[in-house]
């Protein structure tokens, strides 16, 4: 059943968003009602136009509040953003518990729309929703196809703690981070920011001052460390979700660990670089091709130092290359150190299998466990 504005406005949607929020006597008004209606649209009280205000004004109409109704009265809320005249992007973990017809979106104009789920991908934590009759004010935001520079100023838009149409400011603090996904594998190439990220921000955009999307917010370790899904990964996954409803990730079937000085010395490397293969999944593409290390023998096992000629210094580089440069069916050439000798092997990647794993909480929540390798 749809929800009308007089039944539930953003001012009333202060409820559980992954944590309990005590508002107390705080007066909470709608940003949509306040933005641009004080006689100084797009300006601060001193009359000076702020670049943050300008970006907010130009993008906030494309950011939505996502509310979810699940079985037996369960539910939650998050954020999302419009990418074209039909589709909204959010996180898979925001809508994964939704009952049929249980996803409602509210726009900056206080208009509500019921959304259908077009496609989901738990491995990248992305989901695409379809909206019939998108409000006129909501135009598509553009996701860049490049990695943002560290130090670049960015803004997080969304609904933290259920507080609608909020903005926080920071910089890109790091790139190429590897974080666990709710599905148990790793999300590679994640963008780190010091802009404030709280429960309810999930699914919202990380934008530049020019209004370009630099990532899809999905996790926060605390209020000064947040993470967004890489725009390059999003641009691979989202079109497939729209077209097919799913996305096939490349799968090699190994677990790896960084090479430290002790392992480097044992295998004859002059510098500690590359990744040591610690486990090979039975019947995976790497089975019979790569040799895993024996736990009591640090010099055993293959050390991967390059893939398709690209040097691999750590696990994040291997994961990022596989996620952003390859597809199932591709054959990759791995340069390995085996028994002190440098050589090469070929692995033909397959689609990642559907594994029945306990869900992995996003960083900052209790019960986190190590992610699975590529």
Quick check: 158 and 195 in contact, CB under 8 A? Answer: no
Exactly one of 168, 181, 202, 300 is catalytic; name it: 202
In this structure, the chain runs to a length of: 374
In angstroms, the CA 53 to CA 43 distance is 7
Q: Does 320 qualify as catalytic in the annotation?
A: no
Neighbour count for residue 238 (Cβ, 10 Å): 24
Q: Please list the residues that pair with 280 across neighbouring strands.
A: 254
Closest of 115, 166, 180 to residue 358, by C-alpha = 180
Alpha helical stretches, state H, 90-181: 92-95
In angstroms, the CA 215 to CA 229 distance is 5
Exactly one of 125, 230, 249, 300 is catalytic; name it: 125
Helix (H, G, I), strand (E, B) or coil at 196: coil
Q: Does 31 qualify as catalytic in the annotation?
A: no
User: Do the bridges between strand 350-351 and strand 341-348 make them parallel or antiparallel, or are there none, so unpaired?
Assistant: unpaired
In angstroms, the CA 334 to CA 344 distance is 5
Closest of 62, 71, 207, 70 to residue 131, by C-alpha = 62
Q: Does 69 qualify as catalytic in the annotation?
A: no
Exactly one of 93, 121, 249, 316 is catalytic; name it: 93
In angstroms, the CA 332 to CA 90 distance is 32
Q: Enumerate the active-site residues.
A: 93, 125, 202
């Amino acid at each position: 059943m749809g929800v009308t504005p007089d039944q539930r406005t953003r001012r009333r949607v202060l409820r559980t968003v992954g944590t309990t929020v005590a508002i107390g006597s705080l007066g909470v008004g709608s940003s949509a009602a306040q933005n641009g209606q004080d006689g100084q649209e797009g300006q601060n009280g001193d009359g000076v136009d702020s670049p943050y205000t300008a970006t907010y004004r130009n993008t906030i109409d494309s950011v939505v509040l996502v509310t979810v109704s699940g079985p037996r009265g369960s539910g939650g809320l998050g954020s999302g953003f419009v990418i074209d005249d039909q589709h909204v992007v959010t996180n898979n973990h925001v809508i994964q518990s939704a009952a049929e017809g249980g996803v409602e979106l509210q726009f900056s104009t206080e208009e509500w729309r019921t959304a259908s789920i077009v496609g989901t991908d738990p491995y990248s934590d992305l989901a695409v929703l379809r909206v019939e009759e998108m409000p006129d004010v909501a135009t598509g935001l553009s996701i860049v196809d490049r990695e943002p520079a560290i130090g670049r100023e960015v803004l997080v838009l969304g609904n933290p703690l259920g507080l609608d149409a909020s903005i926080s400011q920071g910089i890109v603090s790091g790139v190429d981070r590897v974080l666990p996904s709710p599905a148990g594998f790793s999300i590679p190439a994640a963008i780190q920011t010091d802009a404030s990220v709280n429960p309810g921000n999930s699914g919202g955009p990380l934008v530049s001052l020019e209004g370009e999307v630099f990532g899809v917010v999905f996790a926060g370790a605390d209020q000064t460390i947040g993470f967004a899904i890489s725009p390059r990964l999003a641009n691979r996954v989202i079109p497939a979700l729209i077209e097919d409803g799913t996305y096939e990730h490349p799968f090699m079937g190994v677990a790896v660990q960084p090479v430290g000085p002790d392992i480097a010395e044992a295998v004859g490397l002059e510098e500690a670089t590359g990744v040591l293969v610690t486990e090979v999944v039975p019947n995976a593409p790497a089975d019979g091709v790569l040799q895993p290390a024996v736990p009591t023998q640090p010099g055993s096992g293959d050390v991967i130092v390059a893939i398709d000629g690209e040097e691999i210094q750590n696990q994040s580089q291997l994961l990022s290359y596989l996620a952003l440069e390859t597809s199932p069916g591709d054959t990759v050439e791995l340069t390995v150190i085996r028994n002190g000798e440098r050589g090469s092997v070929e692995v033909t990647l397959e689609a990642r299998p559907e594994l029945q794993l306990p869900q992995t909480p996003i960083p900052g929540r209790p019960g986190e466990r190590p992610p699975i390798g590529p």
